Amino acid sequence: MPIKPLRKAVFPVGGLGTRFLPATKAMPKEMLPVVDRPLIQYAVDEALEAGIEQMIFVTGRGKSAIEDHFDIAYELEATMRGRGKSLEVLDATRLAPGAVAYVRQQEPMGLGHAVWCARDIVGDEPFAVLLADDFMVGKPGCLKQMVDAYMQVGGNMICAQEVPEDQTHMYGVITPGRRDGALTQVKGLVEKPAKGTAPSNLSVIGRYILQPEVMRVLETQGKGAGGEIQLTDAMARMIGDQPFHGLTFDGQRYDCGDKAGYVTANLAIAIGRADIGDSVRAFAVDLLK
């Protein structure tokens, strides 16, 4: 059976961002900038690099800034033109007509529920899921690495990363099977296992390639860890019915759902920038003295 190409990506952006209050009281956490680009922009750029044609945002109340960000800003662009400034800096924020869709998650019931909200737009196609909190830096990007592997093995795929044993209770964790380079067969999944019970230290990171059958599983999925409808639980029910692999990402991940991870990402990206890297690095060295 031929492997269907990946054309659609779901971005669950309906969360409340409580860990970053008060900054996220009126601004979506996905709009928090890493240097000068919001987290959601990096995730969309990663999807575009991987060949994604349609971006599906699952939003909630107070998320209109995300829609505005990927819209045309007539007043801003007119002002910039009038002042002779280049609009190139805004190119990445303009998605082609028809390349973006929005659907509302009316209450925060978990990642699985957010993905299920996009079922009518996804239709009968495989799709990617990208969590903007997981800021992935690599060349090629994380999703591109996953798509390349997916086109070889098909089925479902998750991004996998080794984490310290004392942190496995914070993640979905893989029961690993046969390994082939960066690919690991997934024999089981457990969401946030109790300390000391994790089947491995190979955790599930916020990038997924899923077959449309997961939507039918989510239709009847009960609440799991944290009293939420967990995507990990639905994926676990599909193991054995379809190929399932984890791909270890060749690059760097920053957990921007965590304050320390977010600050670290800003510092790392700033130091790597040609325009500001030298001055930021000099300041950091001086500060650490």
Position 280 in a domain: no
Position 284 in a domain: no
Query: In this predicted structure, what is the pLDDT of residue 133?
Result: 93
Q: DSSP secondary-structure letter at 242?
A: B
Greater confidence, 284 or 1?
284
Name the domain count of the chain.
1
Position 12 in a domain: yes
Please check the confidence at residue 259 and state whether its pLDDT lies above 90.
yes
Average pLDDT, the chain: 90
Query: In this predicted structure, what is the pLDDT of residue 236?
Result: 84
Position 164 in a domain: yes
Position 65 in a domain: yes
The predicted model scores a pTM of 0.92
- Domain of residue 68, CATH code: 3.90.550.10
Cα(98)–Cα(194) distance, integer angstroms: 44
Position 267 in a domain: no
> Is residue 174 within 8 Å of 232, Cβ to Cβ?
no
Position 270 in a domain: no
Q: In a 10 Å sphere around its CB, with 0-12 CB exposed, 13-18 middle and 19+ buried, how is residue 288 labelled?
A: exposed
Tens digit of pLDDT for each residue in 144-170?
Answer: 999 999 999 999 999 999 888 888 888
Domain that holds residue 197: 8-257
Greater confidence, 96 or 270?
270
Position 155 in a domain: yes
